[in-house]
Chain A
Amino acid sequence: MLQNFSIFNTIYNDAPQPWQLGFQDSAAPAFTGIVDLHNIIFFYLIVICVGVFWVLGSIMYYFNTKNSPIVHKYLNHGTLIELIWTITPALILTVIAFPSFRLLYLLDEVTSPTITIKVIGHQWYWSYEYSDYVTDSGQSVEFDSYMIPESDLELGQFRLLDVDNKMIIPVDCHIRLIITGADVIHSFAVPSLGVKIDATPGRLNQSSILAERTGTFYGQCSEICGVWHGFMPIAVEAVSVQDYLAWIDSV
């Protein structure tokens, strides 16, 4: 029974679990940074919660009608306490802002990429284009990635997550993603790789990923894009550079 609650499990094998509360395992520096920022901010959240509920509880305990029959009808101003509860949150927000902006600008940085992959959102599937190897006559590698319907699932595949053609990326390579939409706005998101970026028609958005280990990482379209918005998952498979080249050669 307890196994059903993921809080008691620690290994997620790179797939989200039913009732999962925490993050998926990180596979990229971007997501490690996001999890760290979350943990840092959670510290302040706990401090604030304890403070607020402490004050609230004390007021209810010490100043209820039974304990304190005096009605503070004319007490409506206190300069000191107002200064304290104005300046303290401002300071806390400033302290939170620094690591937040640091991470934001680090994530925006596209470190000299080794490959560019174009990701195009359609109603309702993703398509990928690898065009770095186009010769004068050659075609670029492009394919569509559809969700595997429940009736076709094989043992070990994930319902609503597995696709027929995964996006293959080499491990330990900086990859530039060029993301766009073909019809309406979609959003390309893979939590384990720390990427979520809108796929807007007519606009090319750039993002960067770096897989630090091999594995398959799952994500979902994250912008409501129509009736089958929930059925256009993203599956990214990180493989060694040799395997990546062999794959590029085979498609």
Chain B
Amino acid sequence: MSDGDLSSKYVLQTAGFDARFPNTNQTRHCWQNYTDYFKCVAAKGEDFAPCKQFKRAYHSLCPNEWVSKWDEQRDNGTFPASLEP
């Protein structure tokens, strides 16, 4: 694959600076994007494009282990936060 194909396939872009989380501790940054995504989906549906921003952000910031644990909790109804919009 040529370089041109690669740079169009992989966009060097990630979750930006968020003024709500200016500190070294980014735990809440990850959590907020995770809950915001599912709140967004609950309100606007899976295909609503602006929701994807939250998904990209939580994927970039949250360890995969945390994400799968929270996914499991959502499935079991034991997720410790309301995801109602």
Residues of A that sit less than 8 Å from B by CB: 108, 110, 112-116, 118, 120, 129, 131-134, 140, 142, 170, 173, 176, 178, 180, 182, 197, 202-207, 241-242, 245-246, 248-249
Q: Find out whether the CB atom of B14 lies under 8 angstroms from the CB atom of A178.
A: no
Contact of B14 among A115, A197, A246 (CB under 8 A): A115
Q: How far is the CB of B20 from chain A (nearest CB, A)?
A: 13
Closest 10 CB pairs of A and B: A245-B6, A116-B14, A116-B60, A204-B26, A206-B26, A131-B59, A114-B12, A204-B27, A134-B59, A132-B14
Q: Find out whether the CB atom of B1 lies under 8 angstroms from the CB atom of A249.
A: yes
Q: Number of B residues whose C-beta is below 8 Å from A?
A: 28
Residues of B that sit less than 8 Å from A by CB: 1, 3, 6-7, 9-17, 23-27, 29-30, 56, 59-65
20 residue pairs bridging A and B, Cβ less than 8 Å apart: A112-B16, A114-B13, A114-B14, A118-B64, A131-B60, A131-B64, A132-B12, A132-B14, A132-B59, A134-B59, A140-B64, A170-B12, A178-B30, A202-B27, A203-B27, A205-B24, A242-B6, A245-B3, A245-B10, A248-B10
Q: Find out whether the CB atom of B10 lies under 8 angstroms from the CB atom of A133.
A: yes
16 other A-B residue contacts (CB within 8 Å) besides A114-B14, A134-B59, A202-B27: A110-B17, A116-B14, A131-B59, A132-B12, A132-B59, A132-B60, A133-B11, A170-B12, A178-B30, A178-B63, A197-B24, A204-B26, A205-B25, A206-B26, A241-B7, A249-B6
Bound Cα distance from A202 to B13, whole angstroms: 26
Using Cβ atoms and an 8 Å threshold, which residues of chain B touch A176? 14
Q: Find out whether the CB atom of B26 lies under 8 angstroms from the CB atom of A178.
A: yes
| Chain A at the B interface: SS class | mixed
Using Cβ atoms and an 8 Å threshold, which residues of chain B touch A206? 23-26
Bound Cα distance from A197 to B24, whole angstroms: 10
